[in-house]
Amino acid sequence: MSSSSSVVEARQALARRLSDIRKDAGLSGDQLSAQCGWHPAKTSRIQSGKSTPSEADIKAWCATCGAEGQVPDLIAEARAVQTMYTEWRRMERTGLRAAQESVNSLYERTGLFRVYASRVMPGMVQTRAYTAAVLRSIQRERVAVDDVEEAVEARVERQQKLFSGRHRFGLLIEEYVLHAAVCDAETMVGQLGHLISVSAHPFVSLGVIPTACDRPHLPVEDFYMFDEAEVAVELTSGYLRITQPREIAGYTQMFTDLASMAVHGAQARQLITAAINALG
């Protein structure tokens, strides 16, 4: 599992609930372990949040404590913990196309997208050539299956649906992204020109955060916000899904703070144009 504080906190919250259920039943850890038929070390790992209990574990725990009514809610919480973090190698084990298609339903039901990008262009505004360069780089680095062309088609198809006018976008991009050498110069010029075109849409708000701006803090990862329902955080090792309202509120505030540092409209286009000119 991820060492992310979000995952750790979620697992510990579940552990505290199970521990409280045991205490309310008047059982010690050893007594619960004996009645469930497992080693006391297992109870200790679950109560310390070091391991996530299986659905069978939760049912046995609650049955022993006379708390069967809490089983559905606890199982739902456990499932949320287990799906919060997915390693890239697991998500991409069958290729990159499946990873692209796995988020289609989430994208389709989202009305407002808010994105912070510090390394590469947000996928929803990438050109076909830029997407191909980014996905090819990922495939070479960590994916054995080569289905880059199919993955590019899947992303392009999703873009066409997203820009139907039914969705709104708030995009914040670090100025570094305008200069990042993730593709050849010709592809980058096309990508930057496309970004200017996209920014003219009435349902798109584009902000560029200047490299030299004064900032009190800086996120360590890119994130995508899907309405107020979910935040996806792209870590070095994997993909983190955040659904807790308190944590989502924190990302909402972070996005607001970052937006206040960004330049928009003509000033943003000037930075993009300067990046194009720098490519000759």
From 110-124, 129-143, 168-182, 219-233, the region with the lowest mean pLDDT: 219-233
pLDDT at 82: 73
Whether 92 has a pLDDT exceeding 90, the answer reads no
Confidence bin at 130 (pLDDT 50/70/90): very high
Helix pair 148-162, 128-142: axis angle to 10 deg: 140
Residue pair 24/65 in contact by the 8 Å Cβ criterion = yes
Compute the average pLDDT of residues 178-182: 93
pLDDT at 165: 87
Higher-pLDDT residue of 5 and 72 is: 72
Whether 2 has a pLDDT exceeding 50, the answer reads no
pLDDT at 4: 53
DSSP annotation of 237 reads S
* Domains of the chain (ranges, CATH numbers): 5-84 (1.10.260.40), 92-278 (3.30.870)
pLDDT at 81: 76
Whether 3 has a pLDDT exceeding 50, the answer reads no
Type and span of the H or E element at 233: strand 230-234
pTM of the entire predicted model: 0.77
Burial code (b: 16+ CB inside 10 Å, e: under 16) for 169-194 equals bbbbbbbebbeeeebeeebbbbbbeb
Amino acid present at 231: V
Residue pair 119/177 in contact by the 8 Å Cβ criterion = yes
pLDDT at 106: 92
Whether 1 has a pLDDT exceeding 70, the answer reads no
Average pLDDT, the chain: 90
Question: Which tens digits make up the pLDDT trace of 22-53?
Answer: 999 999 999 999 999 999 999 999 999 888 89
Residue pair 91/58 in contact by the 8 Å Cβ criterion = no
Query: What is the Cα–Cα distance from 212 to 142, expressed in whole angstroms?
Result: 33
